[in-house]
Structure 1
Amino acid sequence: MDPLVSDPRIEAAAEGTVEPAADPTLDTVSEPAVEAEAAVPVLCPACGTVNDPDAKFCEECGTQLGELVEVSSDPDSGDDEAGAEPNESTSSTSAPRRACVYCGGSIAEDGYCELCGKPAQSERDHWQEAPAAWVGGVCDRGIRHDINEDAMALAADPQAGEFAVLVVCDGVSSTPGSDKASLAAARAATAHLAAGRQIDVTEGNDDELAQSRWSDRMLEAGERASAAIYEAIGELAARTNPPSCTFAAAVIDGPLVVVGGVGDSRVYWIADSGKSRQLTTDDSWSQEMMAHGMSRQQAESAPQAHSITRWLGADSPDEAPHVVPTYPTGAGWILVCSDGLWNYCSDADDLAELVHRVVGMVGSNPVQVSSSLVDWANEQGGQDNITAALARFDSVVHTPAQPA
């Protein structure tokens, strides 16, 4: 097994386990900082809010703070490669500019792209992660919402099919501050699940033990995510309607996949051939109606369709994820997504057809496939934030362990 590299975003417990996606622009969980001689608070140029010295985005309005990274003249380099570090060699006299996420052009001082004319997006509005060549995802604000309350966090072993964690959280849009809740929850859960890999390697991996261990770990990840929300939102936790989010997670440990869910973000098994399946069960009004005999089309098109019955947050009635272990057969994809994607294509077989069509056009790179799925959802209207995270799952013949 190749050596595994840790990331400062993933908490100390995960050190030395798997390599999470590098994302310097969105980093909020940091290692102990070297004390600066003069830590000066950062004033937001848009709204005037005073932010912490190391803040990357304004806590009040979300505007990007601090230095901007110089962009290459090559349009293809507009989106930073996943895992790329900021260019420390940039001269202080070189007038650094941000890259346009649409075309790779330079963002002018007025906040619009000099090449295509579109307004700049912050990295919180749109970003991608690729912790390994076989795992990747894209998180996007969509078209209709002013801010991106979706979040994701990914981690993976470089060896395809060995080990991966994919977590997607969707902030509840009716509660201000849910963008902070979702990001904190996704990162905390991924950190805890990634740390479990070390236990897996140490204790062995018989079927019953692995399923039990990862099921317990998934429940603990929900608890860690909830605790991270409390810490991230501070005094907002005391509100009548505090920030909250959904939770969908998948752990891939060789042939075993363990999924967990709270709310209506989902995990799907997208088979290359044969039957695709939704692996999680929604906590929602529409799911309850379908359980009582209403058709999927009727339930998911009703006005109350996206009313969730469980969530993560200070006022949650039950934060424990529903956990399901499974052994997919054949080759395919594990897809973790928010309702911004599945709302336009809910049925597993229909979603599989969409994924197959996209793969036929752009190839099997998980980030490119995720990006195309996000683009497709925006073409359907982009009514919500959209997140798609994928892991390639090649054919594995699973032989159950025999009792000693």
Structure 2
Amino acid sequence: MSRMPWLSGCPSCEEPVEEGDRFCGRCGCAVTAAPTTDRPTVPFAPGAAPAAYGGRPPAAGGLPGEPAPAPGAYPGGPVPATGSHPGGPVPPAGGFPGGPVPRPGEPAPGAAATAHGFGDPSWPAHPAPGAGPTAYGEASGPGAAAYGDDPGGQTPGAGVPVPGEPRHDFEAPAPGAAPAPGPAAFPARPASAPAFTTPVPGTAEAWPRDGGPGSGGAYGGPVFAAGGGPGVPPRPDHAPTLPDGPDHPPTLYDGPGHGPVQVPAPPSAPPAPPAPAAVPRPAGARGCVACRSGHVDTDGYCENCGHAQPRERDHQEESLESVAAVSDRGLRHHRNEDSFAVAATALPDGTTATVAVVCDGVSSASRPDDASAAAASAANESLLSALPRGAHPQQAMHEAIVSAADAVNALAAAPGHQNAPACTLVGAVVTHGILVIGWVGDSRAYWVPDDRSAPPARLTEDDSWAAQMVAAGLMGEAEAYADVRAHAITGWLGADAYELEPHTAAFKPDRPGVVVVCTDGLWNYAESAEEMARVLPPDAATRPLHSAQVLVGHALDGGGHDNVTVAVVPFPVAPRPHP
């Protein structure tokens, strides 16, 4: 790897540096010299000899073609940049091609101090404060600029454009002062010449700018209007106005020898996208419960807002004149695995029989929702088929449970199951003066009389671990149901059930009341009959649907840890015949 050129002294303050130092320890200036290859150059005036630094040899310790600055020339400051913008000072004879251009008010590199302390002795000093007009028609004095910024001073090079150096002054000539003729290198501008050499869009460039005869200057720079002198721009308030706007974008000057640069107009803001048109809802499609404007696709999501819609079984209600039922998914489960069926049918004697069946799918089994739906539907159909034929309600209930078990067993024949679908079942049949209850599993039925002074009763016994512990006398009821194994069922409907043992019971209540048929999602929050009676509204016999809604709401308010399903069946007492 080649080594970087190394400077023996700081190019800014000449503080001695050692090899390997990258920054000056005194002023912080970078002391790593740039490679001497590919150095930028500046054009020379016609006839100027390409002598580096006027033929002066580089100072000791410097690089070829780049002298070290004179001692004290730039105290504490960086090395001035090379001439790169038009409008800067013109170097004296010999120029500074390839080298740095002195900062305003400072001497050329290597020049001896003059009476002012800087510069070449051969260069004339600044005019005294308050002096009259200079050679270029600019006033000098207390307000005049220093070397390199004096737009028309007598200092050689002041006000003369140099390629790559910007002009920062806009000094006007003193009132009544006539501009002195400039040097031969700057021919007089014709009176009809335009103020700027940069052409206005749509017009011809009337003033040459190639540095040849009649051009604006030896370096091809622009020639400005009268009043500023050759190469000196006018004050901002005298500057010509260029057309601007959408049809005339701003024009910038890109340096000597280059044409005008057109600044592109800023892009306009894109138009706002049109508002999406409302999607018409197909006939018969279900509306979205979130945005209420879109329709629900077959995948269960709204085509307008994308919200997932409640499944049909997430919340179901059904009400008949003599029975009502409500089922809800609850707050913790992702689907409703409960199912119910309610119906009413006529008996051979003309009276009405009311049927309510509630099933709870076993979550640890496969397809528990399908199992509960199949069991509820099969049991309901069996009851509606047997009762009108005159079958005894208790016998009809037993046959209905067997039919429900067969329907659940049939689901196990489908491939891809880890285990057999399973569910529990509880049903009630209310006829003229008779109440029949049938069950398998831990779903329950309660009796709540209309007269709340009479005691309520639980009509079923769970097929569960807790019930077996209580029946065997091993644990009390409160202790058994507080155990983590309390809800482990010992009887269910399914292909893997140990043995199907349908439970049925017939009652003849002597007073009116209601029958509450429910899953453990409700009775977990009202376990005893007394608790259920307190939750059930007093008008349950006349408003069964409202009562079912109240019971489901009680479970949800308690936490809704499971699916909740309940059916409320009023039990009227037939009037006794007179003797």
> Normalising to structure 1: TM-score of the pair?
0.65
State the Cα RMSD in Å: 3.1
Letter in 2 for 1:152: F
Q: Secondary structure at the match of 1:310?
A: coil
Residue in structure 2 matched with residue 266 of structure 1 by the alignment: 444
User: Which of the numbers 358, 363, 371 marks the counterpart of 1:173?
Assistant: 363
Look up the match of 1:136: 324
1:307 Cα deviation from its structure 2 partner? 0.4
Within 5 Å, which residues of 2 pair with 1:339-350?
339-350=520-531
Partner of 2:434: 256
For residues 247-292 of structure 1, the C-alpha deviation after alignment (integer angstroms, 9 at most, x for no partner) is 1011111110111110000111111121211111110011112223
Distance 1:161 1:341, change over 3 A: farther
Q: In 2 relative to 1, CA 258–327 (structure 1 residues): closer, same or farther, beyond 3 Å?
A: same
How many residues align? The count is 290
Q: Is the 8 A contact 1:128 1:139 kept in 2?
A: yes
- Residue type at the aligned position of 1:136: A
Report Cα offsets for 1:186-242 as digits up to 9, x if no partner. 110011111122122xxxxxxxxx7xx322222211111011113345325x95631
Hey, what's the Cα distance between the residues in 1 that align with 2:346 and 2:321?
A: 7
SS of alignment partner, residue 179 of structure 1: helix
Alignment of 1:328-343 (within 5 A): 328-343=509-524
Q: 1:29 matched to which residue of 2? A: none
Larger radius of gyration: 2
Secondary structure of the residue aligned to 1:384 is: coil
Contact 2:345 2:388 in 1 (8 A): no
Read off the aligned partner of 1:156 and give its amino acid letter.
A
**In 1, distance between residues paired with 2:572 and 2:379?**
25
1:282 alignment partner, one of 455, 462, 486: 462
Matched, 1:182 2:372: yes
Q: What letter corresponds to residue 409 of structure 2 in structure 1?
A: Y
1:150 paired residue among 332, 338, 342: 338
Q: Does 1:305 align with 2:483?
A: no
Which structure is higher in RCO with an 8 Å CA cutoff and minimum separation 6?
Answer: 1
- % identical aligned pairs: 37
Match of 1:323 in 2: 504
Structure 1: gaps spanning 5 or more residues = 1-90, 201-209, 400-404
C-alpha distance in structure 2 between counterparts of 1:92 and 1:119, whole Å? 17
Structure 1 residues 144 and 122, CA, compared in 2 at 3 Å: closer, same or farther? same
Select the structure that is richer in strand. 1
CA contact (8 A) 1:263 1:283 kept: yes
Aligned equivalent of 1:194: 384
For residues 508 and 282 of structure 2, the distance between their equivalents in structure 1, rounded to whole angstroms, comes to 56
Is there any run of 5+ residues in structure 2 with no aligned partner, and where? 1-279
Cα deviation for residue 119 of structure 1 reads 5.2
**Contact 1:248-1:260 within 8 A present in 2 as well:** yes
1:335/1:390 contact within 8 Å kept: yes
SS in structure 2 at match of 1:123: coil
In structure 2, the partner of 1:98 is 287
1:192 partner SS: helix
Describe the shift of the 1:276–1:233 C-alpha distance in structure 2 as closer, same or farther (beyond 3 A).
Answer: same
Q: What are the within-5 Å matches in structure 2 for residues 4-403 of structure 1?
A: 93=282, 96-98=285-287, 100=289, 111=301, 120-130=309-319, 132-157=320-345, 162-200=352-390, 213-235=392-414, 239=417, 241-273=419-451, 274-293=454-473, 294-356=475-537, 359=539, 364-397=542-575
Letter in structure 2 aligned against 1:133: E
Change (3 A) 1:367 1:151: same
In 1, distance between residues paired with 2:421 and 2:334? 17
Quickly say closer, same or farther: Cα 1:186–1:398, change in 2 above 3 A: farther
Question: Contact conserved, 1:262 with 1:320, CA < 8 A, in 2?
Answer: yes
Report the structure, 1 or 2, having the larger helix content. 1
User: SS of 1:165's equivalent?
Assistant: strand
What amino acid does structure 2 have at the position aligned with 1:134?
A: S
**For 2:561, what is the secondary structure of its paired residue?**
coil
> Quick one: distance in 1 between partners of 2:455 and 2:294?
45
Distance in 2 separating the partners of 1:382 and 1:198: 38
For residue 97 of structure 1, report the CA deviation from its aligned partner. Answer: 3.4
What's the offset of the Cα at 1:302? 1.3
Q: Per-residue CA shift, 1:7-28, capped at 9, x if unaligned?
A: xxxxxxxxxxxxxxxxxxxxxx
